[in-house]
Amino acid sequence: MEIKINDMCSWERKKAIFLMDVAEDLGISLKDYGEVAVNKNSGYTYLWSEDYNFSLYMPINCELQKSDINALWSCSECGEEISINLKDSDTLEDIEENINQIEKNHFQQEHKDKL
Ligand SMILES: [Zn+2]
Protein backbone atom coordinates (compact mmCIF):
# COMPACT_ATOMS: atom_id res chain seq x y z
CA MET A 1 0.00 0.00 0.00
CA GLU A 2 1.35 3.39 -0.94
CA ILE A 3 1.16 5.93 1.86
CA LYS A 4 1.30 9.46 0.51
CA ILE A 5 2.66 10.90 3.70
CA ASN A 6 4.38 13.91 2.10
CA ASP A 7 1.02 15.32 0.99
CA MET A 8 -0.35 15.25 4.55
CA CYS A 9 -0.34 17.74 7.36
CA SER A 10 0.23 16.36 10.86
CA TRP A 11 -3.51 16.00 11.58
CA GLU A 12 -3.99 14.10 8.33
CA ARG A 13 -1.06 11.85 9.24
CA LYS A 14 -2.67 11.08 12.60
CA LYS A 15 -5.87 10.10 10.80
CA ALA A 16 -3.92 8.04 8.25
CA ILE A 17 -2.20 6.10 11.03
CA PHE A 18 -5.53 5.58 12.81
CA LEU A 19 -7.12 4.38 9.56
CA MET A 20 -4.28 1.90 8.98
CA ASP A 21 -4.59 0.68 12.55
CA VAL A 22 -8.34 0.07 12.25
CA ALA A 23 -7.96 -1.47 8.78
CA GLU A 24 -5.39 -3.97 10.08
CA ASP A 25 -7.58 -4.80 13.07
CA LEU A 26 -10.42 -5.51 10.64
CA GLY A 27 -8.17 -7.82 8.63
CA ILE A 28 -7.44 -5.59 5.63
CA SER A 29 -3.82 -6.23 4.64
CA LEU A 30 -1.71 -3.10 4.31
CA LYS A 31 0.71 -5.04 2.11
CA ASP A 32 -1.73 -5.33 -0.76
CA TYR A 33 -1.95 -2.83 -3.59
CA GLY A 34 -3.76 0.36 -2.62
CA GLU A 35 -3.15 3.74 -1.07
CA VAL A 36 -3.54 5.92 1.97
CA ALA A 37 -3.91 9.54 0.93
CA VAL A 38 -5.88 12.77 1.21
CA ASN A 39 -8.59 13.48 -1.33
CA LYS A 40 -7.74 16.93 -2.65
CA ASN A 41 -11.38 17.82 -3.37
CA SER A 42 -12.99 16.74 -0.11
CA GLY A 43 -9.98 16.99 2.21
CA TYR A 44 -10.86 13.53 3.52
CA THR A 45 -8.14 11.09 4.49
CA TYR A 46 -8.79 7.67 2.97
CA LEU A 47 -7.47 4.15 2.73
CA TRP A 48 -8.13 2.03 -0.32
CA SER A 49 -7.14 -1.55 -1.09
CA GLU A 50 -7.72 -3.14 -4.48
CA ASP A 51 -9.07 -6.24 -2.72
CA TYR A 52 -12.24 -4.43 -1.63
CA ASN A 53 -15.06 -2.60 -3.41
CA PHE A 54 -15.03 0.22 -0.84
CA SER A 55 -12.59 2.63 0.71
CA LEU A 56 -12.37 3.81 4.30
CA TYR A 57 -12.27 7.54 4.97
CA MET A 58 -12.26 10.08 7.78
CA PRO A 59 -13.65 13.62 7.42
CA ILE A 60 -11.57 16.76 8.01
CA ASN A 61 -12.85 17.39 11.51
CA CYS A 62 -13.36 14.42 13.78
CA GLU A 63 -12.14 12.66 16.88
CA LEU A 64 -9.87 9.69 16.40
CA GLN A 65 -12.62 7.14 16.95
CA LYS A 66 -13.90 4.18 14.98
CA SER A 67 -17.24 5.99 14.63
CA ASP A 68 -15.39 8.70 12.66
CA ILE A 69 -14.56 6.19 9.93
CA ASN A 70 -16.88 5.60 7.00
CA ALA A 71 -16.81 2.92 4.33
CA LEU A 72 -17.48 4.43 0.92
CA TRP A 73 -18.78 2.60 -2.12
CA SER A 74 -18.66 4.32 -5.52
CA CYS A 75 -20.61 3.16 -8.54
CA SER A 76 -18.36 2.20 -11.43
CA GLU A 77 -21.18 3.05 -13.86
CA CYS A 78 -22.42 6.48 -12.72
CA GLY A 79 -20.02 7.58 -10.01
CA GLU A 80 -22.66 7.79 -7.27
CA GLU A 81 -21.14 7.47 -3.82
CA ILE A 82 -22.81 5.89 -0.80
CA SER A 83 -21.15 5.53 2.58
CA ILE A 84 -21.87 3.75 5.83
CA ASN A 85 -20.45 4.50 9.25
CA LEU A 86 -18.21 1.89 10.80
CA LYS A 87 -19.91 2.13 14.18
CA ASP A 88 -22.74 0.10 12.64
CA SER A 89 -20.37 -2.48 11.17
CA ASP A 90 -18.21 -4.27 13.69
CA THR A 91 -16.38 -6.71 11.46
CA LEU A 92 -15.01 -6.77 7.93
CA GLU A 93 -17.73 -9.31 7.09
CA ASP A 94 -20.40 -6.83 8.29
CA ILE A 95 -18.90 -4.04 6.20
CA GLU A 96 -18.65 -6.21 3.09
CA GLU A 97 -22.21 -7.47 3.58
CA ASN A 98 -23.59 -3.92 3.97
CA ILE A 99 -21.60 -2.56 1.03
CA ASN A 100 -22.61 -5.48 -1.21
CA GLN A 101 -26.25 -4.83 -0.30
CA ILE A 102 -25.84 -1.13 -1.17
CA GLU A 103 -24.25 -2.08 -4.50
CA LYS A 104 -27.02 -4.59 -5.25
CA ASN A 105 -29.80 -2.11 -4.39
CA HIS A 106 -28.18 0.63 -6.45
CA PHE A 107 -27.78 -1.59 -9.52
CA GLN A 108 -31.36 -2.83 -9.20
CA GLN A 109 -32.61 0.76 -9.09
CA GLU A 110 -30.25 2.47 -11.53
CA HIS A 111 -28.58 -0.09 -13.77
CA LYS A 112 -31.01 -2.97 -14.18
CA ASP A 113 -29.63 -3.61 -17.66
CA LYS A 114 -26.15 -4.28 -16.25
CA LEU A 115 -27.30 -7.04 -13.89
ZN1 LIG B 1 -24.64 3.87 -10.60
The domain of 55 spans 2-114
Q: Tell me how far apart the alpha carbons of residues 25 and 38 are, in angstroms, rounded to a whole number.
A: 21
**Centroid of chain to Cα 4:** 16
Say how many domains are in the chain.
1
What single letter denotes the amino acid at residue 38?
V
Cα–ligand 1 centroid distance for 103 (angstroms)? 9
The residue-averaged pLDDT of 18-35 equals 96
Q: Tell me how far apart the alpha carbons of residues 105 and 22 are, in angstroms, rounded to a whole number.
A: 27
Q: Tell me how far apart the alpha carbons of residues 71 and 75 are, in angstroms, rounded to a whole number.
A: 13
Reference 51, options 75, 77, 79, 23; nearest CA is: 23
Cα–ligand 1 centroid distance for 107 (angstroms)? 6
User: Terminus-to-terminus CA distance in the chain, angstroms?
Assistant: 31
pLDDT over 90 at 90, yes or no: no
Q: What is the pLDDT of residue 89?
A: 81
Burial of 35 (0-12, 13-18, 19+ CB in 10 A): middle
Cα–ligand 1 centroid distance for 1 (angstroms)? 27
Confidence class of residue 88 from pLDDT cuts 50, 70 and 90? confident
Residue pLDDT, tens place only, 31-84? 999 999 999 999 999 999 999 999 999 999 999 999 999 999 999 999 999 999
Q: Tell me how far apart the alpha carbons of residues 10 and 111 are, in angstroms, rounded to a whole number.
A: 41
Cα–ligand 1 centroid distance for 63 (angstroms)? 31
